[in-house]
Amino acid sequence: MHELSIVISIVDIAKAEAEKLNISSFSTIELEIGSQSGIVQEALDFAWPQGVKGSVLNSAKRKINWVEAKAKCQDCGAVFAIANLYDTCPHCNSLFNELIQGKELKIKALTYED
Ligand SMILES: [Zn+2]
């Protein structure tokens, strides 16, 4: 499952961070996920407990900030929000859009209690 491998890679990053900080667990994790990243909330929710089990994120509260996808028109330069990759420019109807935001998957913050 796609989302489980994503959770496992998030756990790997958190684990490396925990080792650096010399701590055994995090209390919260904040993620930033683009609306065009292909990640489905329900699938992520389903994979999460399985992926974090026994890890530094085992009891971490999870917060997700969904990032709206934005594209830049290659013809007129307009920047606009898009719901899917084949939306046309609302200003000139061009199909030549470059996705400039919305594919991210980032760990924005990890917090822990001393
Ligand atoms: Zn345009």
Per the CB < 8 A criterion, the answer to whether 1 and 40 are in contact is no
Name beta bridge partners: 97. Answer: 73
CA distances from 110 to 27, 50, 55 (A): 8, 19, 14
Are residues 23 and 55 in contact, defined by beta-carbon separation less than 8 angstroms?
Answer: no
Global pTM reads: 0.84
Q: How many residues does the chain have?
A: 114
- Centroid of ligand 1 to alpha carbon of 80 (angstroms): 9
Amino acid symbol at 93:
N
- Domain layout of the chain by residue ranges: 2-111
pLDDT score for 18: 98
Closest listed residue to residue 39, CA positions, set 49, 48, 50:
48
Q: How far is the CA of 92 from the centre of ligand 1 (A)?
A: 4
**pLDDT digits over 9-64, tens only?**
999 999 999 999 999 999 999 999 999 999 999 999 999 999 999 999 999 999 99
CA 31 / ligand 1 centre spacing (Å): 31
CA of 91 to the centre of ligand 1 (A): 5
Structural fold of domain 2-111: hypothetical protein PF0899 fold (3.30.2320)
Cα of 40 from ligand 1 centre, angstroms: 29
